[in-house]
Structure 1
Amino acid sequence: MTSEKPLPFVYQFMAGAVAGVSEILVMYPLDVVKTRVQIQTGKGVGEDSYNGMVDCFRKIIRNEGFSRLYRGITAPILMEAPKRATKFAANDEWGKVYRNLFGVAKMNQSLSILTGASAGATESFVVVPFELVKIRLQDKKQAHKYNGMIDCVQKIVRQEGILTMYQGLESTMWRHILWNAGYFGCIFQVKALLPAAKDKKGQVLNDLMSGAVGGTVGTMLNTPMDVVKSRIQNSPKVPGQLPKYNWAWPALGTVFKEEGFSALYKGFLPKVLRLGPGGGILLVVFTGVMDFFRTMKGLD
């Protein structure tokens, strides 16, 4: 992510973990609202349905209490460390692989997109079980079935089979490929367009701006896949019954046919409000922690 001396994988992993946990502690309520809106079919009518982000916030707080906005956060917290660590570490490692493979000395726009997409595919294998549990706990209609994260995992495995923990892997992979390609590709391009940072404050501002732009573009690219992923993972397996939402691309077609194009962008506002600024927070914290490690090892 920087032009400074590279650090070993373990430091990239730790920096990514700190960045991920920092981002989710600040932005998690927006994720709860995003999921509630995405899994809702049709128009919001009544207290159990939502007409957009503000209505969803209002009804959750009024009917379920403010703490419900942090329902299911244990799974994402446990996920964020390996997820974000894998994202940044895989991006750096794939960058090395592709530079060697194509004989390119420095990163360029095309390689940034390719390494980001590869990092997203790698990351998806880590996050699927955590995402499944998170969505089941965030859904008001299903949350009452589970007494927390461990109970949720046990009941899913017992009632639906252990392979259900990887339900939605394909759609999750598409979601992460698209987001990471947009995120890392935009970071490279925006940084190239911004004036070179003259001091630490300038570097932080550049990281915040490029990360926010990258997060916004990534969200624009991957929201349709996020909608179908949420629905696929929120569909409990019933013996002898084919799920309505099963594979990513057919599910996109189903949502488009039944609810229209706008339904593919359900939850976009809370998602972009989280992942736009959140993308900036991720990059700033990651870069800051990596700089700390370089100072500690005398590489600055």
Structure 2
Amino acid sequence: MATEQKKPLPFIATFAAGAIAGVSEILTFYPLDVVKTRMQLETGKSKYGLVGSFKTIIAEEGIGRLYRGLVPPLLLEAPKRAVKFAANDFWGKTYLSLSGETKMTQQLSILTGCSAGATESFVVVPFELVKIKLQDKTSTFAGPVDVLKKVVKKEGLLGLYVGMESTFWRHFWWNGGFFGSIYQVRALLPKAETPQAQLMNNFISGSVGGFVGTALNTPFDVVKSRIQGSTKVPGVIPKYNWTYPALVTIFREEGPAALYKGFVPKVLRLAPGGGVLLLVVEFTLGVFRKALGPPYI
């Protein structure tokens, strides 16, 4: 984010930029997330592709269903994105200090991204659980509060953290791919001579990062959706419980393609979404730098 010559922006600026970027991204791409979840919850061979899923949801449930479950991610996006970029900034500085390097390297970028994703995952789980429960086609919950009440009543407060381990791995791999790719792509792009060119470079590197992160983490996202979408039956061991055994189960029963269910809507959201995310973050940080003046510029 900041160059070596600039004084690092205060935490509140990084927090606000991440929050603004996250809300902008989710309002733009949320329907793709609903379709992605539906495809991932479907066991066996997929009946519908991306377009078919959109058509089926609209025809059978109405266009409003494409925004069902929007409240939890909206409430989550501000702290989630803020934690993502603040954690990335924190871990980046920490690893630079520990390694003795003066500039970020690709290896440190990947390590930093993975650490930021792991940190972020602890904030995400309850919101993701509520969202998945509402997005499921068979959902009978009245809304987010109803989900919270029924889950806590049935499973206790820890019930809100079902899928914690799979969420950890989903964010670990996505952030590692996202931030690691951003570093590499930025190094390959021509140096931006104008603010417009800099914004374009940010969008391109963010989009590539979003694609790579999605390619790496989709199998973990499929498992997370299955774990959080299932209903616990007393005395019965859940079919999907731990991440890596669940990956093997899905691979064995449904084939390797099942591990990438929902990949198309997911990548259509997170590739340009990653671009929008980085674009808005960098733009917002630039506004803060100008407002604060030297030595932040």
Q: Could you say which TM-score interval applies, normalised by the shorter chain?
A: over 0.9
Match of 1:11 among 13, 32, 35: 13
Q: Note if 1:280 corresponds to 2:275.
A: yes
Which residue in 2 is equivalent to 1:114?
111
In the alignment, the residues of structure 2 paired with residue 290 and residue 154 of structure 1 have an alpha-carbon distance, to the nearest angstrom, of 39
In the alignment, the residues of structure 2 paired with residue 225 and residue 263 of structure 1 have an alpha-carbon distance, to the nearest angstrom, of 11
User: How much has 1:2 moved relative to structure 2?
Assistant: 3.8
Equivalent pair of 1:160/1:236 in contact (CA under 8 Å): no
Equivalent pair of 1:207/1:283 in contact (CA under 8 Å): yes
Q: Which runs of 5+ in 1 are unaligned?
A: 45-49
Q: Which amino acid aligns with 1:73?
A: L
Q: Which amino acid aligns with 2:261?
A: K
Q: Note if 1:205 corresponds to 2:207.
A: no
Instruction: Number of aligned residue pairs: give it.
Output: 293
Q: Which runs of 5+ in 2 are unaligned?
A: none
Which residue in 2 is equivalent to 1:55?
52
Counterpart mapping for 1:16-55 below 5 A: 16-44=18-46, 50-55=47-52
Deviations 1:231-263 (A, max 9, x none): 001112222111100000000011001000000
Q: Note if 1:238 corresponds to 2:240.
A: no
Deviations 1:122-178 (A, max 9, x none): 00000000000000000011x22x111111111111112211111111111111010
In the alignment, the residues of structure 2 paired with residue 5 and residue 279 of structure 1 have an alpha-carbon distance, to the nearest angstrom, of 26
In the alignment, the residues of structure 2 paired with residue 159 and residue 167 of structure 1 have an alpha-carbon distance, to the nearest angstrom, of 13
Equivalent pair of 1:33/1:57 in contact (CA under 8 Å): yes
Which residue in 1 is equivalent to 2:292?
297
Which residue in 2 is equivalent to 1:152?
147
Q: Give the 4+ runs in structure 1 shifted more than 3 A.
A: none
Q: Which amino acid aligns with 1:77?
A: L
Deviations 1:194-221 (A, max 9, x none): 0111111001000000000000000000
User: How much has 1:64 moved relative to structure 2?
Assistant: 0.6
Look up the SS of the partner of 2:230 in the other structure: coil
Q: Percent of aligned positions with the same letter in both sequences?
A: 62
Equivalent pair of 1:91/1:116 in contact (CA under 8 Å): yes
Equivalent pair of 2:18/2:78 in contact (CA under 8 Å): yes
Q: Which amino acid aligns with 2:283?
A: G
In the alignment, the residues of structure 1 paired with residue 267 and residue 291 of structure 2 have an alpha-carbon distance, to the nearest angstrom, of 35
Equivalent pair of 1:43/1:51 in contact (CA under 8 Å): no
Look up the SS of the partner of 1:140 in the other structure: coil
Equivalent pair of 2:45/2:254 in contact (CA under 8 Å): no
Q: Which amino acid aligns with 2:189?
A: L
Q: Which amino acid aligns with 1:15?
A: A
